Structure 1
Amino acid sequence: MIRQIAPAGIRADRRGAVLVEFALVLPVMVMVYLTIVQLVSAAACDRRATITARAMADLVSQYALLPPATLDTILAASGQMIAPCDASAATIRVSQVTIDDDRAARIVWSDAAAGRRPDTVGRAMSRSEIPPALRVPGTSLIYSDVAYDYDPGRWLPGPIRLRQSIIMMPRRSRSVTLSTG
């Protein structure tokens, strides 16, 4: 049987109100959830970039004489260090920087992973790259730089450039010499 509901009865009937409210809020909740997932994933890739930059500088700084094959092996391992993030989206470079008597920092040698372009030899490093407190005349530094282009998909505008740089002193000598053979 179909029963008739008076117009006043329709306004007083609240049986489906919670479902309607949930249907209105659900798309917003899903968007917030997916945005948080992407932000957490970006933070994880940023952390992996930091770990990779630190490991690269740490490994290179332990040599007094660094053969090119060893440097290539260290750079090849960087793809595993940045995993599970996509290594093809990363530019990983390691360089040696010397500080002259005028406290100018210049790149002595540089190499990059996965066929990327190394930094320009002889380039003067900016104060944001090598802070004034580390510019001690006559010293050398190992500068490791990881730039990662994180693609968040549809939920956030992107790609987001994540960049981490680590500076270390050579451990076993005043500088790390990159051998020619």
Structure 2
Amino acid sequence: MWVARAISLLRKFGVTEGGAAAVEFALILPVMLLAYVGTMEASALISMDRRIQTVSSVVGDLVARKEALVENDLLNFFGASTSIMTPYTTATLTQTITQIEVKKDRTVKVIDSFVFTNGKLTKRTTEETDDTYELPEPMLDISLPAFIIASEASYSYTPFYGIVFDQPVNLYRQTFYLPRHGSTKRITMPGPS
């Protein structure tokens, strides 16, 4: 008796379509929300990556324009990144400017290197830079013999929601410039702080 009743209920359930849309919506809603939030997080990450690229290129370009720099020039150039990064914090932003000499025999030597992080400018020593710098082959070809300005920016981006990207994402950009006043002239950089 109860078996016949269960079979009858199952048959009714199979042909009844009332509420099917609600069940389908309930099944697809989590996927739609995940895609929506993932798209928002991905677009914010791409936007932040573009900002890091802009910081690297702007600072490198400003340094390459000058024949001589004082510490205040570097602080102002690095400080411009605060405006570029708005509304995001610059607490995890690290910027590096390195002046590199490329000799005729394709050897590379670091002349000066400065790091700016958390509002503090420090000059890197030869031991910290290892006195060498890994340059891409095309950059070596363009710059023989010359000085090059390498500008680097790195940032640890923490996604706002943390649903799709739940760990900080480390972003890094590097740009190279030949000094505008002549690539065979060395830029005078400030001494140790």
TM (norm. structure 2) is 0.80
State whether structure 2 residue 37 is matched by structure 1 residue 30.
no
Deviation string 1:85-105 (CA, Å, 9 cap, x unpaired) is 331122111121111232122
Runs of 4+ off more than 4 Å: 116-119
What number of residue pairs does the alignment pair up? 175
2:5 maps to none
CA distance 1:122–1:63, shift in 2 (3 Å): farther
Deviation (angstroms), 1:59: 0.8
Partners of 1:169 and 1:140 lie apart in 2 by 7
Deviation string 1:72-126 (CA, Å, 9 cap, x unpaired) is 1111222222223331122111121111232122221121223376553552111
TM (norm. structure 1) is 0.85
Q: Conserved in 2, the CA contact under 8 Å of 1:52 and 1:78? A: yes
1:166 maps to 175
Partners of 2:36 and 2:85 lie apart in 1 by 25
**Partner secondary structure for residue 143 of structure 1:** strand
Partners of 2:121 and 2:73 lie apart in 1 by 17
Deviation (angstroms), 1:147: 1.0
Deviation (angstroms), 1:65: 0.9
Match of residue 17, structure 1, among 16, 20, 27 = 20
State whether structure 2 residue 123 is matched by structure 1 residue 112.
no
How large is the RMSD of aligned CA atoms in angstroms?
2.3
Partners of 1:30 and 1:131 lie apart in 2 by 45
2:150 maps to 143
2:134 maps to 126
Q: Conserved in 1, the CA contact under 8 Å of 2:93 and 2:155? A: yes
Q: Which shows bigger deviation, 15-24 or 89-98?
A: 89-98
Partners of 1:157 and 1:116 lie apart in 2 by 32
Deviation string 1:39-73 (CA, Å, 9 cap, x unpaired) is 11110011011111111011111111111111111
**Partner secondary structure for residue 164 of structure 2:** coil
2:186 maps to 175
Match of residue 89, structure 2, among 81, 86, 90 = 86
1:100 maps to 103
Q: Which amino acid aligns with 1:76?
A: G
Query: Which runs of 5 or more residues in structure 1 are unaligned?
Result: 1-5
1:3 maps to none
Q: Conserved in 2, the CA contact under 8 Å of 1:48 and 1:83? A: no
2:4 maps to none
**Partner secondary structure for residue 87 of structure 1:** coil
Q: Which amino acid aligns with 1:124?
A: T
Partners of 2:121 and 2:32 lie apart in 1 by 41
What is the identity percentage for the equivalent residue pairs of Structure 1 and Structure 2? 23
Q: Which shows bigger deviation, 157-166 or 10-19?
A: 157-166
Q: Which shows bigger deviation, 48-57 or 121-130?
A: 121-130
